[in-house]
């Protein structure tokens, strides 16, 4: 009886205990298994990754966008405009987030587990990123370079 009473008092004092709190803190309050797509703050600045995000958003119209509340307001506003333009639900998360370029800036999540094997935008859409880098002009080689190499 005293153990149940202690649990009740702890729940009232500290709130309901979290299941796997480290994972929830990393994924802005949700779990990895609920994520369709993730973007770091640095990836959010890349126009190719933004197009990939829009492609994924159109595939999952019921998804919610979680935005990092600590990232620059201009970048945050840009993605809020994209969300409203596409009639997507979004939430700005301020708990357990930071503004490092490698930290998550955006997560596209579902209400239940979807178990996507790959959620990183650049790994999920590698062909679009490769097309942009392959368009560099090739270096022309001279006659002697072709002859002796």
Q: What is the pLDDT of residues 43-64, one digit of tens each?
A: 999 999 999 999 999 999 999 9
Long-range contacts of 92-95 (CB under 8 A, 24+ apart): 92/67, 92/68, 93/28, 93/29, 93/66, 93/67, 93/68, 93/69, 94/69, 94/70, 95/29
**Weakest mean pLDDT among 14-23, 87-96, 99-108, 115-124:** 14-23
Q: Which residues contact 128 (CB under 8 A, 6 or more apart)?
A: 48, 51, 52
Quote the pLDDT of residue 15: 77
At 130 the pLDDT is 60
- What's the whole-number mean pLDDT along residues 133-141? 59
With H, G, I as helix, E, B as strand and everything else as coil, classify residue 23: helix
Residue 32 has pLDDT above 90, yes or no: yes
Tens of pLDDT, residue by residue over 71-82, are 999 999 999 999
């Amino acid at each position: 009886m005293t153990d149940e009473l202690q649990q009740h008092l702890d729940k009232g004092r500290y709130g309901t205990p979290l299941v796997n709190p480290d994972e929830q803190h990393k994924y802005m309050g949700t779990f990895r298994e609920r994520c369709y797509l993730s973007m770091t703050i640095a990836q959010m600045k890349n126009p190719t990754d933004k197009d990939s995000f829009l492609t994924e958003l159109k595939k999952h119209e019921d998804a919610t966008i979680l935005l990092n509340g600590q990232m620059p307001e201009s970048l945050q506003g840009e993605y809020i405009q994209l969300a409203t333009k596409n009639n997507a639900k979004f939430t700005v998360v301020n708990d357990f987030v930071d503004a490092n370029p490698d930290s998550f800036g955006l997560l596209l999540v579902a209400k239940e587990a979807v178990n996507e094997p790959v959620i990183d935008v650049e790994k999920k859409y590698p062909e679009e990123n490769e097309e942009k880098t392959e368009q560099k002009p090739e270096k022309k080689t001279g006659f002697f370079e072709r002859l002796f190499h």
